[in-house]
């Protein structure tokens, strides 16, 4: 296996290393670890040589470099990648690094289209891990339906939802044709600025977003060949409605020839959702699904699916059993729920929804990605070196998703290569297939790839965050390397800022094309007078 590997690319370099032995052959050498590559399934003890931010040698021969990480007894694997990480702020990146996270994006809430370029610029040179933000469907609606267009909060990306969600038009209002076109154009602006895809919270906008609107949003992404990720229409729902929501996203993607991500499908009906996604992958479609290994989710208390008519009447739940306040540690009652929705509608809550024994089962699913859905914690915009023991309450997945994945894998005998695939390679593979060069050269331990690498103890690496204390960092990480730079050493985050933007090249011209009735009729009918492409659909159509 190693031989085949060396043939691929390191033939000359590793030969050079063996014969020369100069101390400065490499900037950094990781020695004696169990090197795992989820793409080639390479799995052997080897030394890894890094130069100018890239892996240039993987060899049984001794390698020497300016800096050395002794990985004896440790796993050496691609840095973890997360397509669903809302805490896009210095404290969030630091908690993520402790958990092995080298690349995070938000493909659900995302960033407002007009602010995508500024969001990336604000992070250049001052960010410890790689960062990316899809363009937001919800923020476009908040801007053009609610008039929420404050540059002072939209610049902050996903965290701005705590402001925009104080109004409700984004959730419940059907736009006019003019508003609809403005929403689509705003999404196009973000893609033009290089956003890696679109994020949609359609499940929070069930009344406001028609099936026509969802299709048109995905069509904006299809013009760029980029993925739309969605918190699908009926999440949280039943085992039937959950799948119907995923089917909407996936059917649109198929009709448009576009990539799609079924976000956090670890909900009722997950076995069928997974089977459907795998079937589509086998037919060559770039569609994939995310899971996170927690029985509880997290959202703001005013989410429509948590209203009594849905949560109690349709889902048969009780607030006393299911809705936890991560700051006070207390469960809600119907009375305290109603009072808090009125007084503090965007207060974060933790919501129990699935049996705990399913957590490990999701980690065994072939081809999924582990994406944390990490949410923010106070102080949302605090400095990177803010004392972590003073960070506010949040869902434990924010700090511990990757540690929990490895721990549950250990407790349930899940193959380590499966865990490395779902934590890194699978996301890189699917995003790379959308043309995102950044991800074509990550998620792999191969020569020529960018050196985003984790070195951890497979027996010790674990989560420490709990529902009571959500922001406690994971431990057991020997080193985390970001773009060739050691950024975490023995569970300590160093003051280095090697993070790079996860982004397409900005384009000179928009690709937006407004919807019009005339254009629809010209394309899809022979001239029947009442056919409509109105946005929303006309009543009765
Ligand atoms: Zn969600």
Dist CA 478 CA 290 (whole Å): 27
pLDDT tens figures, 269-318: 999 999 999 999 999 999 999 999 999 988 899 998 899 999 999 889 99
C-alpha of residue 428 to centroid of ligand 1, in Å? 21
Look at 168-172, 450-454, 515-519 and tell me which has the smallest mean pLDDT: 515-519
Dist CA 309 CA 322 (whole Å): 15
Give 167: exposed, middle or buried? Use CB within 10 Å, 0-12, 13-18, 19+: middle
**Cα distance from N-terminal residue to C-terminal residue, the chain:** 60
Say if residues 380 and 159 touch (Cβ distance below 8 Å): yes
Q: What is the 3-state secondary structure (H, E, C) of 75-88?
A: EEEECEEECEECCC
C-alpha of residue 230 to centroid of ligand 1, in Å? 8
Q: Tell me the β-bridge partners of 289.
A: 262
C-alpha of residue 147 to centroid of ligand 1, in Å? 24
What b-and-e string marks burial along 301-338, b requiring 16 or more CB atoms within 10 Å of the CB? bbbbbbeeebbeeebebebeebbbbbeeeebbeeebbe
Instruction: Give the H/E segment covering residue 120.
Output: helix 116-123
Given a cut of 70, whether residue 492 has pLDDT beyond it is yes
C-alpha of residue 216 to centroid of ligand 1, in Å? 21
* Residue of 520 and 256 predicted with greater confidence: 256
C-alpha of residue 235 to centroid of ligand 1, in Å? 8
What are 370's two structure tokens?
């582990």
What b-and-e string marks burial along 472-483, b requiring 16 or more CB atoms within 10 Å of the CB? bbbbbbbbbbbb
What b-and-e string marks burial along 511-523, b requiring 16 or more CB atoms within 10 Å of the CB? ebeebeeeeebee
The candidate with the shortest Cα–Cα distance to 115, out of 142, 135, 132, is: 135
The candidate with the shortest Cα–Cα distance to 353, out of 406, 404, 296, is: 296
C-alpha of residue 298 to centroid of ligand 1, in Å? 8
The candidate with the shortest Cα–Cα distance to 304, out of 132, 448, 455, 173, is: 173
C-alpha of residue 319 to centroid of ligand 1, in Å? 19
pLDDT tens figures, 129-156: 999 999 999 999 999 999 999 999 999 9
pLDDT tens figures, 364-406: 999 999 999 999 999 999 999 999 999 998 999 999 999 999 9
pTM given for the model: 0.93
Q: What is the pLDDT of residue 29?
A: 98
Over range 100-108, report the average pLDDT. Answer: 98
Any idea which residue has 């033939």 for tokens? 11
Give me the residues near ligand 1 (ion), CB cutoff below 5 Å: 231
C-alpha of residue 202 to centroid of ligand 1, in Å? 9
What are 221's two structure tokens?
């992404």
Q: What is the pLDDT of residue 533?
A: 47
Can you list the alpha helix ranges (DSSP code H) found in 257-393?
A: 270-282, 308, 319-322, 334-343, 358-363
What are 332's two structure tokens?
């809600």
C-alpha of residue 318 to centroid of ligand 1, in Å? 21
C-alpha of residue 182 to centroid of ligand 1, in Å? 24
C-alpha of residue 297 to centroid of ligand 1, in Å? 8
């Amino acid at each position: 296996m190693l031989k085949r590997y060396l043939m691929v690319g390191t033939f000359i370099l590793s030969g050079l290393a063996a014969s020369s032995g100069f101390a400065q052959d490499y900037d950094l050498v990781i020695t004696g670890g169990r090197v795992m590559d989820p793409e080639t399934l390479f799995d052997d003890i080897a030394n890894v040589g890094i130069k100018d931010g890239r892996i240039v040698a993987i060899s049984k021969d001794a390698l020497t470099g300016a800096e050395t990480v002794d990985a004896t007894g440790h796993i050496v694997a691609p840095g973890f990648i997360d397509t669903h990480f809302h805490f896009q702020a210095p404290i969030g990146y630091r908690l993520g690094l402790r958990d092995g996270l080298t690349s995070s994006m938000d493909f659900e809430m995302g960033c407002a289209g007009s602010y995508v370029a500024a969001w990336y610029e604000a992070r250049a040179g001052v960010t410890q891990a790689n960062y990316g933000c899809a363009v937001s469907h919800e923020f476009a609606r908040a801007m053009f339906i609610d008039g929420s267009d404050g540059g002072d909060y939209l610049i902050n990306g996903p965290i701005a939802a705590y402001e925009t969600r104080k109004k409700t038009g984004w959730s419940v209002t059907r736009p006019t044709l003019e508003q609809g076109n403005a929403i689509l154009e705003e999404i196009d602006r973000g893609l033009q600025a290089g956003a890696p895809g679109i994020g949609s919270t359609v499940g929070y906008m069930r009344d406001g977003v028609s099936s026509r609107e969802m299709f048109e949003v995905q069509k904006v992404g299809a013009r760029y060949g980029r993925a739309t990720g969605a918190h699908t229409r009926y999440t949280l729902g039943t085992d039937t409605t959950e799948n119907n929501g995923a089917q909407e996203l996936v059917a649109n993607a198929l009709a448009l020839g576009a990539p799609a991500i079924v976000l956090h499908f670890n909900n009722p009906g997950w076995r069928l959702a997974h089977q459907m996604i795998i079937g589509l992958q086998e037919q060559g479609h770039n569609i994939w699904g995310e899971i996170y290994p927690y029985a509880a989710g997290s959202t703001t208390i005013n989410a429509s699916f948590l209203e009594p008519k849905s949560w109690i009447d349709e889902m048969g739940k009780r607030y006393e059993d299911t809705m936890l306040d991560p700051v006070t540690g207390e469960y809600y009652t119907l009375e305290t729920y109603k009072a808090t929705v009125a007084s503090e509608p965007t207060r974060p809550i933790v919501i129990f929804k699935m049996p705990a024994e399913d957590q490990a089962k999701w980690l065994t699913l072939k081809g999924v990605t582990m994406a944390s859905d990490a949410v923010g914690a106070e102080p949302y915009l605090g400095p990177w070196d803010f004392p972590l023991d003073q960070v506010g309450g949040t869902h434990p997945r924010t700090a511990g998703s990757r540690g929990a994945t490895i721990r549950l894998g250990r407790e349930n005998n899940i193959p380590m290569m499966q865990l490395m695939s779902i934590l890194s390679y699978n996301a890189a593979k699917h995003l790379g297939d959308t043309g995102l060069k950044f991800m074509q050269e990550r998620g792999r331990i191969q020569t020529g790839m960018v050196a985003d690498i984790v070195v951890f103890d497979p027996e010790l690496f674990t989560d420490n965050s709990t529902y009571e204390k959500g922001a406690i960092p994971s431990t057991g990480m020997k080193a985390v390397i970001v773009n060739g730079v050691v950024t975490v050493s023995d569970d300590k985050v160093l003051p280095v800022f090697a993070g790079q933007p996860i982004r397409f090249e900005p384009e000179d011209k928009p690709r937006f094309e407004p919807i019009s009735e005339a254009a629809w009729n010209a394309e899809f009918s022979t001239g029947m007078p009442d056919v409509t492409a109105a946005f929303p659909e006309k009543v009765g159509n």
